[in-house]
């Protein structure tokens, strides 16, 4: 299922290949987020053209709208959204704890009110896995308890215990044909908790392991630390997935820490605010500096937007509220993230990852705007 | 410049070919509206794929944002927006009289306040033609006085006199290389005024003639009548353009009345509200009836949306506010309008237009929603 092709000499970076029911994924991989069954502003053709290997869907959102009756009738999520390549579905745990109004955490799940209309819903290991089986995703995630960054040690321990117990319940549920299931390690920045949780999950023998409890508002050093204290306890011959991360430079640094899979709303979210990623950080295309700048966003980029449009035109589109503006920034940003992953894979393969990492991180200066957008995880 | 290929035996319909600086246009033609330099929600590749021959731009809007300094620096509108095919620019007359707050109508133009920020601007024959020369459109329109449907006879006469005088001034202004200039006939539903205006403009020898003062809130019979009382006075060997029209069935009927060119915001505007055009009228894709309808919008349609997505999925996208939903309805609706024009041209060419017209109009039942959307001309 997962083939470890090469490990980097200079870091914990790995080159791999993950085989799923809908195709093979080269890792490290960036997964575009299609929370509600659409990667925001992009169509499947654009996604395939820019090298997308796998997209995400979300149990919490899809279960509310359009609801499972419709997706079942369509023949599963791939058919409903017409996406032929792999799909990973998040379990809804993160959303229940971040979006919904929790009414009661119970032994086998959470009773909560929909963030949309306040209706009373219940999601637990059994429900989340049944929904994901019906969605027919290639990779399903266990239903976890993802506490906020500000939790007390006592709350953290409770969340980890619950996460482990629920993971065990998820492990026993029926799956779709060929569906892989990944465990999610919680434990914040507590080394003992992370180790405890990782070991318990590994003993349950999942198909892959995610590092959760990151991208929950924590500062970057804590996020890196959470990964560093978890990764050593994850099996080398299985894929590791850091959930909800990150900026381009963070992706490079997380690959160096042994992570194979990433997802993040950043590329499409900041696009809708007029922010474009470059090798040097991000720029606000709406800025007056670009009003007569007839260069593409990035002269080295091969995306449709950079091959066809200037900064001046994109700025105009964004300023007058034309949808084409945010579409083209979504295209560019998503391609930029995918291109960085392609470069990372090539660098590991060629034995040049140390040099690539050094240069990339030195050139990339993140803006506060992007860091804040990453912290706001509402539409993950 | 304009070649009249065939005239229909059963009606005044014509098959023609209009040669412009950026290419040849087969008529009758539907022109998609790109008011601010973008056909709303669509990219140039999509437009070309669906058979778009020519798009519109608008003097009033582009002059305000991004402003002519930037479009001049870009090398004209084609280069600024990266559209290689023909562009027709409206003169801004319609917008000055419908969008702006008029301060004073003067001898050589109109002093008005921008609908955006209230800044004081002036547009007249000289300014409108200078802007259109700088935009470098293939077809420029004269600056006319387009009075509302509710004008008094006295106001109408004044508007027609002003329109004729300003047309003469426009005729004398410098043009871009190869730029065609069309006159605009006003006169509402007054046969004598329409005849007077048409004859005066024809005497000035424009490259084509538009029927203006339609799509200003009038009922359909009056719109048809305005065309019928104007068309006999327009030269057979030159193109005729009915401005701001119409629904698919109206296009068929207007072709039958001798019109060669059309533009309308309907396909993309109603798409953004979830309305899709079919051969039988229009449907609201958000309706509950489509929640588990896994057919395309139109099983006979060859657009990207119909080849890839179901009504159920599009309904979901629209209901959750995903941009892909309005994108795909914009694709479908625009392709539907272009396909109808292709069929009209084929029918005239094959001598089957009478049968085509009869069947199309019998099947097509317009909804009140679409008729109201047509009446609201604000973003034309």
Q: What are phi and psi of A104, to 5 degrees?
A: -160, 130
Nearest CB among A36, A316, A326 relative to B66 is that of A316
Q: Which residues of chain B are within 8 Å of residue A36 when distances are taken between CB atoms?
A: 316-317, 320, 322
pLDDT digits (tens, 9 = 90+) for B8-33: 999 999 999 999 999 999 999 999 99
From CA B94, how far away is CA B114, in angstroms rounded? 14
Q: Give the chain A residue whose CA is nearest to the CA of B116.
A: A320
From CA A371, how far away is CA A245, in angstroms rounded? 11
The shortest C-alpha distance from B81 to chain A (Å) reads: 6
Contact A317 B38 (CB under 8 A): yes
Nearest CB among B40, B65, B82 relative to A316 is that of B65
Average pLDDT on A195-200 reads 98
From CA A259, how far away is CA A267, in angstroms rounded? 19
pLDDT reported for residue B128 = 98
Contact B291 A319 (CB under 8 A): no
pLDDT reported for residue B312 = 98
Per DSSP, helices labelled H in chain A are: 44-49, 59-64, 68-74, 77-81, 93-98, 125-135, 153-171, 191-203, 220-230, 248-256, 266-271, 304-308, 311-319, 323-350, 353-363, 368-375
pLDDT reported for residue B376 = 62
- Specify the pTM: 0.97
Q: What percent of chain B has pLDDT over 70?
A: 98
CA–CA–CA angle A140, A146, A152 (5° rounding):
160
Cβ-Cβ contacts under 8 Å between A and B: the total is 120
pLDDT digits (tens, 9 = 90+) for B293-319: 999 999 999 999 999 999 999 999 999
Instruction: Report residue A33 as tokens.
Output: 């987020």
Contact A324 B292 (CB under 8 A): no
pLDDT digits (tens, 9 = 90+) for B35-87: 999 999 999 999 999 999 999 999 999 999 999 999 999 999 999 999 999 99
Q: Give the chain A residue whose CA is nearest to the CA of B294.
A: A74
Burial of A327 (0-12, 13-18, 19+ CB in 10 A): buried
Contact B70 A312 (CB under 8 A): yes
Helix, strand, coil percentages (3-state) for chain B, rounded to 5, are 45, 20, 35
Q: What are phi and psi of A373, to 5 degrees?
A: -65, -35
Average pLDDT on A247-259 reads 98
Q: Which residues of chain B are within 8 Å of residue A80 when distances are taken between CB atoms?
A: 310, 312-313, 316
Burial of B11 (0-12, 13-18, 19+ CB in 10 A): middle
From the list B350, B252, B336, the residue with the least C-alpha distance to B12 is B252
Q: Which residue has the tokens 């999925």?
A: B313
Average pLDDT on A39-44 reads 98
User: Looking at the predicted structure, is the pLDDT value of residue B374 above 90?
Assistant: no
Nearest CB among A65, A292, A308 relative to B316 is that of A65
Beta strand A139-141 pairing with A120-123? unpaired
User: Looking at the predicted structure, is the pLDDT value of residue B106 above 90?
Assistant: yes
From CA A219, how far away is CA A132, in angstroms rounded? 31
CA–CA–CA angle A182, A185, A187 (5° rounding):
165
User: Looking at the predicted structure, is the pLDDT value of residue A371 above 80?
Assistant: no
Q: Give the chain A residue whose CA is nearest to the CA of B308.
A: A82
From CA B88, how far away is CA B193, in angstroms rounded? 26
User: Looking at the predicted structure, is the pLDDT value of residue A380 above 70?
Assistant: no
pLDDT digits (tens, 9 = 90+) for A115-147: 999 999 999 999 999 999 999 999 999 999 998
Q: Which residues of chain A are within 8 Å of residue B69 when distances are taken between CB atoms?
A: 292
pLDDT reported for residue B375 = 63
CA–CA–CA angle A367, A368, A371 (5° rounding):
95
- Structure letter (DSSP) for residue A19: E
Q: Collapsing DSSP states into helix, strand and coil, what is residue A42? A: coil
Q: What percent of chain B has pLDDT over 90?
A: 92
From CA A45, how far away is CA A24, in angstroms rounded? 18
Which of B32, B37, B43 to probe the A interface (max A CBs under 10 A)? B43
- Of B8, B90, B145, B260, the active-site residue reads B90
Contact A324 B42 (CB under 8 A): yes
pLDDT reported for residue A175 = 98
Which of A55, A320, A328 to probe the B interface (max B CBs under 10 A)? A320
Question: Is there a catalytic annotation at residue B263?
Answer: yes
Whether chain A has a CB inside 8 Å of the CB on B74: the answer is yes
Whether chain A has a CB inside 8 Å of the CB on B72: the answer is no
User: Looking at the predicted structure, is the pLDDT value of residue B378 above 50?
Assistant: no
User: Looking at the predicted structure, is the pLDDT value of residue A47 above 60?
Assistant: yes
Average pLDDT, chain B: 96
User: Looking at the predicted structure, is the pLDDT value of residue A379 above 60?
Assistant: no
User: Looking at the predicted structure, is the pLDDT value of residue A370 above 70?
Assistant: yes
Helix, strand, coil percentages (3-state) for chain A, rounded to 5, are 45, 20, 35
From CA B73, how far away is CA A292, in angstroms rounded? 7
User: Looking at the predicted structure, is the pLDDT value of residue A270 above 90?
Assistant: yes
pLDDT reported for residue A378 = 41
Contact A73 B294 (CB under 8 A): yes
pLDDT reported for residue A34 = 98
pLDDT reported for residue A102 = 87
Nearest CB among A66, A304, A323 relative to B323 is that of A323
Identify the band that residue A376 occupies on the pLDDT scale cut at 50, 70 and 90: low
Average pLDDT on A83-91 reads 98
pLDDT digits (tens, 9 = 90+) for B238-291: 999 999 999 999 999 999 999 999 999 999 999 999 999 999 999 999 999 999
Q: Collapsing DSSP states into helix, strand and coil, what is residue A218? A: coil
Per DSSP, helices labelled H in chain B are: 44-49, 59-64, 68-74, 77-81, 93-98, 125-135, 153-171, 191-203, 220-230, 248-255, 266-271, 304-308, 311-319, 323-350, 353-363, 368-375
pLDDT digits (tens, 9 = 90+) for A168-192: 999 999 999 999 999 999 999 999 9
User: Looking at the predicted structure, is the pLDDT value of residue B104 above 60?
Assistant: yes
pLDDT reported for residue B366 = 82
Q: Give the chain A residue whose CA is nearest to the CA of B68.
A: A292
Which of B34, B66, B304, B379 to probe the A interface (max A CBs under 10 A)? B66
Element (H, E) at B277: strand B275-278
Q: Collapsing DSSP states into helix, strand and coil, what is residue B26? A: strand
């Amino acid at each position: 299922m997962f083939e470890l092709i090469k490990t980097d000499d200079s870091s914990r970076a790995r080159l791999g290949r993950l085989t799923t029911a809908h195709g093979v994924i080269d890792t490290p991989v960036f997964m575009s987020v299609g929370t509600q069954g659409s990667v925001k502003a992009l169509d499947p053709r654009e996604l395939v053209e820019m090298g997308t290997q796998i997209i995400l869907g979300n149990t919490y959102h899809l279960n509310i709208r359009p609801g499972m009756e419709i997706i079942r009738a369509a023949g599963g999520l791939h058919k409903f959204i017409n996406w032929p390549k792999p799909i990973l579905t998040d379990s809804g745990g993160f959303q229940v704890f971040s979006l919904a109004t929790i009414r009661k955490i119970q032994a086998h799940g959470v009773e909560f009110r929909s963030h949309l209309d306040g209706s009373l819903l219940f999601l637990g290991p059994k429900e989340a896995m049944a929904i994901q089986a019906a969605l027919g995703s290639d990779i399903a995630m266990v239903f976890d308890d993802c506490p906020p960054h500000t939790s007390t040690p006592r709350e953290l321990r409770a969340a980890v215990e619950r996460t482990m117990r629920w993971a065990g319940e998820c492990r026993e549920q029926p799956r779709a044909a060929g569906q892989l299931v990944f465990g999610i390690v919680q434990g914040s920045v507590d080394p003992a908790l992370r180790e405890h949780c990782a070991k318990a999950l590994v003993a349950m023998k999942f198909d892959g392991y995610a590092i959760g409890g990151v991208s929950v508002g924590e500062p970057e050093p804590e996020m890196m630390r959470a990964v560093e204290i978890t990764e050593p306890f994850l099996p080398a011959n299985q894929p590791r997935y850091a959930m909800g991360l990150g900026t381009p430079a963070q992706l490079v640094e997380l690959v160096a820490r042994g992570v194979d899979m990433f997802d993040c709303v950043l590329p499409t979210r900041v696009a809708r605010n007029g922010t474009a990623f470059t090798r040097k950080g991000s720029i606000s295309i709406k800025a007056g500096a670009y009003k007569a700048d007839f260069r593409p966003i990035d002269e080295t980029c091969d995306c449709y937007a950079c091959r066809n449009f200037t900064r001046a035109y994109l700025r105009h589109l964004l300023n007058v509220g034309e949808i084409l503006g945010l579409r083209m920034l979504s295209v560019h940003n998503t391609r930029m993230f995918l291109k960085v992953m392609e470069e990372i894979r090539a660098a590991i393969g060629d034995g040049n990852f140390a040099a690539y990492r050094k240069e990339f991180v030195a050139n990339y200066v993140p803006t506060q705007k992007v860091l804040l957008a990453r912290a706001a995880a509402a539409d993950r």
